[in-house]
Chains A and B, each alone.
Chain A
Amino acid sequence: MTRFLEISNHTLFWYYTASNIAYLIMLLVALKTSAAHSRKLQSHRLNWIKETPMAPPITVIAPAHNEEGSIRVAVRSLLELDYPQLEIIVVNDGSEDRTFEEMREEFQLRMIRAVYVAEAKSANVRGLYRSDLDSRLLVIDKKSGGSKADAVNAGLNAATSPYVCIVDADSILERDGLLRIMLPILDDPKRVVAVGGIIRVLNGSEIVTGHLRRVRLPRKGIEIIQVIEYLRAFLIGREAWSQGNMLTIISGAFGVFRTDLVRAVGGYRQSAIGEDFDLVARLHRHLRQQGVEYRIPFVPDPMCWTEVPSDLKSLGRQRARWQKGLLDVLWQNRDMLFKRRYGRIGWLALPYLWVFELMAPIIEIGGIATIFLAICMGSLSREFFLQFLIFGYAFATVISIGSVLQEEITYKRYNDWQDVVRLVSYCFLEHFPYRQMHMFWRLQGLSQYLRGDNTWKPLKRKGLESARVG
């Protein structure tokens, strides 16, 4: 037994160290990439792109389900996006409230007849409507398919542009976000098949009529910790993975895809729990099987702001769901592991996700349990335990502060001194007890998936209409 505990504790130590070293390497890669990206931006002036005669058209697809409080503002802000050739498709996904009526009144929707080719599977469409005020706006009214994937697929079927941008109707896209996210495509349209944008935390910021007026840090600690998590995941993780063309997740709240390719893989998988991750995995699979040279980059500056859960219950549900989605997609794509044809995706990206994302809650919670057991049995050196805690804490804090630094030297959206001080303070506070709670939620997610509990419970949100979210 003592031997088992010793091995378990050492495994936890090396696992934790390896995980942090991986993040440290990613931090260094991300810092270098961001510097290069900032310089690259100097040669692009966004207004030049707006004037370019060759900018490819984009269809923005925004699924909406029971968004009566915010839909007017959300659609209006989508119509105000800066992009030369734009089509907006809002999919009313069987809303039970006044979402559709709100849009019909605000944008003077008129039913139209159109050929709708159901290339991607989706629930029955009740009607297509075009706005009399702005012909770029098309609204699809459909029965609820029970998933975001279903709604996006309906939008995909009606899209007429070579590129589609999937956004959440309850998120705020910065006005020049589309111009920025299209930069890699404009630079290399043949190889770039999809681009991921960054998602930032909206809570606490000031919003006026659907536009972000002032970026502020949220008030609640639980929200600030999520700010750090988002910075770490996007500005370090995704930035680094995309550098090696191994980006496996493009957030469902903001990403651009080549329409023909998304249709070729059948659109979003309706039954997928993590539909965004699933789509990118299937794109990688499809393109690697075809032997096509392609790139899926991540662009850190086109920002999409979204509201994050502000209470523990909602956050727990969200994280459990993310973990279920991760397991679902990794399991579906397990045949890609260590196969030559899938290259670095199969040899590096997916194994990393298996070991350091999927297994993390099992190993960490298991490890904590064995440490306590070892303490109780007196087989763990107190000195070693203490040192391990200090080391783990200090190392993880380096990564968290590193992500704040990355934000500071690149995009610097938190201008207030007070905000930065609070942000840095929470870099020290997030590791206990939040990290352990987070691991527990993720473990719950795994358990729910294995028990077949895939029900979706809506998260509590305040909506965009409020002057200050959070």
Chain B
Amino acid sequence: MPSIFEKLYRVGPASLLLKAIVVAIILDALLLVFILLRRTYRKWYFKKRDARVYEFRQGWNALISGEIPFDTWRGNAFDRRIVEEIALDALEAAGPEESARLLKFLRNSGLIEKRIFEARHHTGWRRMRALVALGRTRAPEGIHALAEGLRDSDLQTRLAALRGLGRTASPKAAEEILGWLGEAGLAVPDLPLQSALVQCSAERPQLLIPFVSNAKGPLREVLGRVLGEVATPSLGLDLLQFAGDDLDELRASVARAMSQSNSELARNVLTDLSQDRVWFVRLRAIVSLGKQSDARVIPLLVRGLSDANRLVRLRAAEALVGLRTEMLPIFEQVVALQDRYGLHAYVTALENAGLKEKLEFELQADTRMSQLQKDDLSGVLETGALRTVEMAAMETVPKSGAGLL
């Protein structure tokens, strides 16, 4: 039996060509006809749709108040889609009063119930569409249907459900998501999950604590990050259990969460975390210390200026500049640190905040210092360079290849 290559060889390109030409020409024609028909159809469809939208817009108030009976448009899928789309678009931009009115309309007209039904009984594309619409309504009665969507086998449908639950911003939705995570583990990408949980658990962050304690692996990391975003001072003691956790992300979350607390305990924890072995934990701790707006954190922030990590130094500098306190004593400490990278970070932060002139003014107005000392400090401020022990400062250069501008 001849091989396929032998057969092709025998048939030869010439006879194949004729058939290929015919096929190619037919394909060309079909594509053109398709484009033509599609354009024509869409033109007709959008004309009809525009006219209908205009009609609904004219009687919108009567329509949502129920003066125009719901039955006049509910039965027609084309009309129903238009009305729902207008209502949902309006809902996303509405204030509280208008939102309540629109939500009442969506309930009374049965649109929410219809979407709940579709989310529960349809599959695939139609289910996803229903879940997206339900999420847009932010209606609490949709939470169960959305939670069921989390168990769908298709990732996009699960994501639609997750985003929808996030939109409700309800602790009930957070419970549903956390419960599902307990069953299924991390079955969606991190970021959408984090976003949804941040939105839902902002009101009751304590919901997260037991889940963070019991979760393992990457899920624990994700929940830790969420906790860091939503933690409030009321969680202070609950969070302490994680300050010495093995998971870097969780320690960073504690550091972040502690920014909300002004207690002595929080400061002690942040002091420890600002010396953590992992740079982003130190970064979080420094940022949180900066938010405390307390003069007692100044030495810690000044120490942060000589951190081995560039971002930590920059944030420490920004935090120091952001403190609403006299700048001159801080500047003196920064200069005394004898770290030219720290000094540059500080001067940069001053310049970025437009406070360099203010510091210069404070310096000249100071009565404690001699004119010589003032001139020295003024020179350092102006040039951004340490006048003395430059070589000693060089030894603290954290990274080769770094240049100063």
Q: Which of A's residues lie within 8 Å of B, judged by CB? A: 10, 13-14, 17, 39-40, 42-45, 47-48, 52-56, 110, 112-119, 125, 127-128, 130, 132, 135, 160, 185-190, 381, 383-384, 387-388, 390-391, 394-395, 397-398, 401-402, 404-405, 408-409, 417, 420, 424
**Cβ–Cβ contact A401 & B132, under 8 A:** no
Given contacts A13-B13, A54-B191, A54-B194, contact A115 B199 (CB under 8 A): no
- Of the candidates B17, B345, B404, the one having the most CB atoms from chain A within 10 angstroms of its own CB is B17
Using CB atoms, name the residue of chain B closest to A390: B21
Q: Is the CB of A383 within 8 A of B14?
A: yes
CB neighbours of A185 from chain B (8 A): 191
Given A113-B344, A114-B348, A409-B38, CB of A387 within 8 Å of CB of B17: yes
B80 within 8 Å of A (CB atoms): no
B355–chain A nearest beta-carbon distance, Å: 13
Query: CA A10 – CA B80 in complex, angstroms?
Result: 60
Bound-complex Cα distance A397 to B30 (A): 12
Residues of B contacting A47 with CB < 8 Å? 92
| Complex contacts, B20 vs chain A, CB 8 Å | 17, 391, 395
A112–B190 alpha-carbon span in the complex (Å): 37
* A408/B399 contact (C-beta < 8 A), A43-B132, A112-B351, A113-B384 known: no
B28 CB contacts on chain A under 8 angstroms: 394, 397-398, 401
Asked if B319 is at the interface (CB within 8 A of a chain A CB), the reply is no
Bound Cα distance from A44 to B190, whole angstroms: 16
Other-chain residue from A40, A56, A117 in contact with B399 (beta carbon distance below 8 A): A117
Instruction: Jot down 18 A-B pairs with beta carbons below 8 A, ordered by A.
Output: A17-B20, A40-B156, A43-B160, A48-B163, A55-B191, A112-B348, A113-B347, A115-B341, A116-B402, A125-B405, A160-B311, A188-B189, A190-B189, A387-B21, A394-B27, A398-B24, A398-B27, A404-B35
Establish whether residues B92 and A189, one from each chain, have CB atoms under 8 Å apart when the complex forms: no
Smallest Cβ-Cβ distance to B193: which chain A residue: A54
In the complex, which residue of chain B has the Cβ closest to the Cβ of A132? Answer: B354
Q: Does B96 contact A (CB under 8 A)?
A: no
Query: Which B residues, 257 to 315, have Cβ-Cβ distances below 8 Å to chain A?
Result: 310-311, 313-314
**Residues of chain A with a CB closer than 8 A to B249's CB:** none
- The chain B residue sitting closest to A192, CB to CB, is B189
Interface string of B343-372 (1 = CB under 8 A from A): 011011001101000000000000000000
Which residues of the partner chain B approach A135 to less than 8 Å between Cβ atoms?
352
Cα A347 to Cα B17 with chains together (Å): 30
Is B159 engaged at the interface, CB distance under 8 Å to the other chain?
A: yes
Picked from A48, A128, A388, the residue with its CB within 8 Å of the CB of B167 is A48
Residues of A within 8 A of B403 (CB): 115-118
Give A407's nearest chain B residue, CB to CB: B35
A residues near B189, Cβ cutoff 8 Å: 186-190
Q: Which residues of A contact B35 (CB under 8 A)?
A: 401, 404-405, 408, 420, 424
B128 lies within 8 A of chain A by Cβ: yes
Q: Is the CB of A187 within 8 A of B404?
A: no
Chain A minimum-CB-distance residue to B20: A391
Known: A113-B347, A188-B189, A405-B31. A420 touches B401 (CB 8 A): no
Determine the distance from Cα of A53 to Cα of B195 in the docked complex, in whole angstroms.
6
Q: Which 6 residue pairs across A and B have the least CB separation, nearest first? A: A394-B24, A43-B160, A387-B17, A52-B195, A401-B31, A54-B195
CB contacts (< 8 Å) of B345 on chain A: these are 115
Q: Is the CB of A384 within 8 A of B14?
A: yes
> Would A395 and B401 be within 8 Å (CB), given that A114-B348, A188-B189, A401-B31 are in contact?
no
With A39-B128, A391-B24, A397-B28: A118-B341 Cβ-Cβ less than 8 Å? no
Q: Tell me the bound Cα distance from A402 to B32 in angstroms.
A: 9
| Cβ contact within 8 Å between A42 and B128 | yes
A391 touches B17 (CB 8 A): yes
Interfacial residues of chain B within 87-140, with CB under 8 A of chain A in the complex: 92, 125, 128-129, 131-132, 136
Measured between beta carbons, the chain A residues less than 8 angstroms from B344 are: 113-115
Report A-chain residues with C-beta under 8 Å of the C-beta of B391: none
Of all chain B residues, which has the CB nearest A388? B17
Q: Given A115-B310, A125-B405, A401-B31, do A395 and B347 touch, yes or no (CB 8 Å)?
A: no
Determine the chain A residues whose CB is within 8 A of the CB of B311 once the complex forms.
Answer: 160
A113-B351, A408-B35 known; A45 and B14 CB under 8 Å?
Answer: no
B39-80 CB contacts (< 8 Å) to partner A:
39
* Distance between A458 CB and nearest chain B CB, rounded to angstroms: 29
Chain A residues near B159 (CB, 8 Å)? 43, 187
